[in-house]
Structure 1
Amino acid sequence: MILAEVVRSGFVESVHHGSVVVLDSAGTVKDSAGDVGSPFFPRSSNKPLQTVGMLRAGLPAREAADLALISGSHLGEPFHALRAGEILAAAGLSPEALGCPPALPASERERDAVLRAGGAARRILMNCSGKHAGMLATCVANGWPVESYRDAGHPLQVALAQTVAELAGEPIAATGVDGCGAPVFAFSLTALARSFLRLVDAEAGSPERRVADAMRAHPELVHGTGGDDTVLMAGVPGLLAKGGAEGVQAVAVPGVGAVAFKISDGAARARMPLLRAALRRLGVDAPVPPVPVLGGGETVGEVRATW
């Protein structure tokens, strides 16, 4: 299904295929396009569900901001690395315990700052370091081994898989290895949208609601300065958002509904135009700026949704 197109100087230059589902407030499919029932890997859109699993397993979250970072894919700004380090320190661990690969900040500005200062890639700067810090803290709280925490058969990952399957409302079809080295779980696009709706509609104080409330209260820790998820959650009251690699996005608004989609070619540029179009079907106007197509440094076209 063609969901977005790239228009340059009045001509369609290329198109983006994918699948999208829109749910109403009751979790019923209101509209969809493409394959929304077959399993796929939601990538980092899994993270809020995994954080719920960590809380259920005894994650000793010091404050809501910790949950936001653990659920996020941060840009590697100094305040992200600082909080990830604090989560580890509270568990008696150092950044060397992190099992995610070393990386430079995802933020171009911060990456340049690190390199100018003579710095290099570090695990704590990797965009998933918050999630890994939370996983390690959960292991320490339970007396589980920390060296093997990424293994799919580890007690932590077994517990997280059970929680994700429960929230998704369907069995996990496959377990893969995400870009950060931790397990990632496959289920349908419709299940992803419903799981996010469960988070925002959960009873106050429950693990599900604690994660949703923390992310919405601290969107800058979920993504970072100017990041899509940060802008979305800051701009629409009550909205919960989490993107994932390879063109995945999930969003839910309490009392309104939810949206989830996957761009087949993984293109990030199609995500926000499509999300704006999908949310409008729920009557939500998201603060999403146009995505320009440049020629010679000037705007000569745009990426626009066709669905």
Structure 2
Amino acid sequence: MSKSTSTVAELLQNNADHLTRAERQLSQSLLVNYPVSGLGSITAVAKSAGVSTPTVARLVKKIGFSGFPDFQAALRNEVEATISDPIAKHDTWAGQAPNEHIVNKFTEAVIENIRHSLGQLDIETFDQTCKMLADTSRSLFVVGGRITRSLADYFFLHMQVLRKDVTHIQAISNAWPHYLLDIKKDDVIVIFDVRRYETSTLRLAEMAAEAGAKIVLFTDQWHSPIAKLADHTFSLKIVVPSAWDSSVTMMLLVETIIADVQTRTWPETRQRMEELEVMFDRTKFFRKFT
């Protein structure tokens, strides 16, 4: 077995630049439902990715395994570790509470979500997305769902300050068709969609894609159906010990993207922020303590 301390997902990401086109296609397929996607037979894995079995054999060796059985053993070890020891052994986050306290369990889960998600983040996709969002020749549209609309609203509010021509599409199915009238070829639509995936949001994405818009998708580790239409997809881990999924990892990435776009658009952004502050002063929007 490979002696690497990296996960299989990390090995796939770290070797991405050295993979052939077919191997990259296989790598992406493996990461879609990781690690379950790699636990079938070599024939099933190849078929699911639309590649040949020799491609599977070459890829696993290229990322450091002696063969497919060695590769699968590593995946099974990851699954077993996740099931048997979901909380890493460490000093508790809240020192006065035991490991099993919800504060520590929840914090550990969130940090693992961040670690896992960033480990699989494609930096090229990140950079291309930020470049596209900073391109003011493209109109920008933002939409979220029943839960994710708060993230969409946060993202919209900041992007509206950073650049011109930004529209927040209301998360109401009978309202968004009106916005489609203004979407043109190569405009950008940012969509937040996590389980349970909303049918109306998928319909919106389909119609935006038909109009030639570029789709940036923020979704979970299981992938919204919109991923098949998206130009850039950010798949983030969201599971925590709660009846609700966590938005922390997604918020982290959103804020990182906002920071990058701000750098790219700073001359224009600075002027917009200065004008905005003048308007705040005139309207006495914020309380002054001087």
**TM-score when normalising by structure 2:** 0.28
Answer 1 or 2: which has greater helix percent: 2
Higher relative contact order (CA 8 A, sep 6+): 1
Computing the radius of gyration from Cα coordinates, the structure with the larger value is: 2
Answer 1 or 2: which has greater strand percent: 1
